Chain A
Amino acid sequence: MSFDLAVVVAALPAILAGLQVTLGIWLAALALGIGLGFAVAALRHFGPGPLGLALRLAVEVLRGTPFLIQIFLLYFGGPFVGIRLDPVPAGLLGLSVYAAAYFSEIFRAGFVAVPRGHVEAAQCVGLSRAQIVRRILVPEMTMLVLPQCVNMAVILVKETAILSIIAVPEATAVISALGSQQYAFVESLFLLALIYWLLVEACGWAGRALERRLSKFRFA
């Protein structure tokens, strides 16, 4: 077993293209997941009861089942109910909805964790409901949930690898295909592991740097 660098160099354009797909889907799902997750958390926190219950059920189901099953349902089951998607949009949609479920739980816990006294103090000085949400709850919550959000971002990078199973041309699909064509499976998988590991470490590092920068806003 020897690592043939020439194989990697020759396939570099393909590898970079795969990486680009991984990064693109990751960042898009992250943004969509955060936006959708925040909306769900806000609706569950402030919205009418029955809606909250329905959303809770949906979140429970999404968090209680494997992502692989969800993506199979969407990609293979979708056409039977008129949802016919190519691998990339299917992967992006599936990953975003999956992420939204987890983000909504993070935000919901964040809303609850903001001390009641801070809200009461805002009520006393006459802030409106909307102002309290915008000026007090959201900024305080952001500080509280930042570490979990970074954690979730890391989980999402790793979940993108699963999309290779429905033939999304991302890094895992491209590099393992390369490996089997060249009979260099172990080498290419090590390369792949290294790429993810660097991505995850970089993400964790960036998250910690952001936390440090925001730490001065942290309440005692």
Chain B
Amino acid sequence: MWFGFPIRPEQASTIAEGIDHLYYFLTAMDLFFTAIIFLTIFYFAIRYRRRSKAETAEQIEGSLPLEVAWTVIPLVLVVVTFVWSSSLFIRNSRPPTAATEVFVIGKQWMWQLQHPEGVREINELHVPVGRPIKLTMTSEDVIHDFFVPAFRVKKDVVPGRYTSLWFQATKTGSYHLFCGQYCGVNHALMRGEVVVMEPQDYERWLSGSKKAETMPAAGARLYEQYACITCHGTGKGPAFNDLYGSQVKLQDGKTVLADEEYLRESILFPSAKIVAGYDPIMPTFKGQLTEEQILQLLAYIKSLGATERKAAQE
């Protein structure tokens, strides 16, 4: 607060304070240089104002030491800022390994959020304080953007691929969730709340909410319903045990990391990457599965064991 004006949003996540410190540093640097320029101009403007028409100026063509000084000093400051900012960014972009995964689907103009336990929310996300949460996000139509100012996190939600972000809330309360990327007519209404609760309150909320199947259970149901099991359960197609996060050998000799993108592509466009030793017999499921169902299948595959080392890197 500054003369009754808030100057920053609430700090409600583990990374917020670090961002704010960098922000204060940058602000201070800005004010310092703006002050130097403004004061110098004012001083020169008054000190060297033209006093008579006949007055002539003293001609000075430049000064190499000065040029060097005002090249090197900003350069040093900029390098310091870059190093500070980038190391903070790298640290902030690595999710902790034990994060709880919540799936997010953006569509014009709402947020659909799914907890692993099967609770489904619209435009509201309940999370416990102090536990890292990882969001895996995709969009059903245009590019959206998941933005929670109080957490200082933001990431585009892009159709046709998965993006992710993570946060760990530090303070209970209700915080704005905005769509940051312009997404059409009701972009400004694509808002929601992130509700941070004490763990026991959260458990109570979770058990009191209407629960559908858990994500992996729903995925398992789809696995049978769409007859995936007839090949993938019988050896005609690659098995799913410990698949997620592993390196998969392809027919053309390459290997590929079995991450969300790869699994998604293999469901929608099965022939794009053929696993070595199998025939390209799988039909496409494009148009038959919703984004939500694909996420459920992914959750199911992940539940069958994951090679954590690789998954953690993403």
Same complex: no
